[in-house]
Each structure stands twice: as C-alpha cells, then as structure tokens.
Amino acid sequence: MTVGFDGTLYQGNSFKVMFQAANKSFGWKQWSVVGTGIVKAAAGGLIKGKNAFRMRFFKAFAKSFKGMTQTELNAFFQKRVAMGTKDAHYDLIHKFTSMNARRGWAI
C-alpha cells in the first residue's frame, strides 16, 4: 500500500476511496466518529485552509478504527488497497524500489 497525500505516490482521490471502503465496513459507531470529525475538519479548513481540513479528515478516520479487531482492520485496508490500486504512481514506485535494490536496502 502506498500513502501519498500530496498526489505523488497515489494519484487517485483519497477521500473518495476512503469513503467507499468505509461504506462497506463501518457501522453506526464508526460513522458517528467520522461525521463529527468531518464537521470539525470543515470548520478548521475554513479557518486554517485545505491542508488542515485534510489532516483532520484523516484523523477522524483514524479515530474510527479504535476498538476494531486486527481482522476488521485488515479487511478494511485490503478493501481500500483493492479500490485504489489502479491509481498508484507505478513508475515512481518502481524507481524507488529499483534504487533501493541497487543500494541493497530492504523495502
């Protein structure tokens, strides 16, 4: 799984894919945490800008994972990966992995 919130490694819409994966996995408890976080993120975004909104949005999702089992977390992220695989920046990822292999670094 690649994480690139600035669009470098992952070129898709992170928000959209997170919502799609959550829609298939979350119950009312997780959605209440996310909903509250989105309201706070929107307020913070108006005051502090787009980056503040993104940070609070993803923090709300992270809080919604509290209490989930390892199996539930694995299932969520497997869905998330499957949905976003097509939007990874494979040329850049290959460049990093090739560079690391030449240097003998493990990935």
Please determine, for residue 68, whether its predicted confidence score (pLDDT) is greater than 50: yes
Dist. CA 107–CA 100, nearest whole Å: 7
Residue 33's pLDDT is 92
Helices 70-84 + 14-25 axis angle, to 10: 140
Grade residue 32 by pLDDT with cuts at 50, 70 and 90: very high
Q: What are phi and psi of 21, to 5 degrees?
A: -65, -40
Distance CA(88)–CA(8), nearest Å, equals 9
pLDDT of residue 1: 47
85-106: pLDDT as tens digits: 888 878 887 887 887 777 776 6
How far, rounded to the nearest angstrom, does the alpha carbon of residue 50 sit from its chain's CA centroid? 16
pLDDT band at 39 (very low <50, low <70, confident <90, very high): very high
Strand segments (E) across 1-107: none
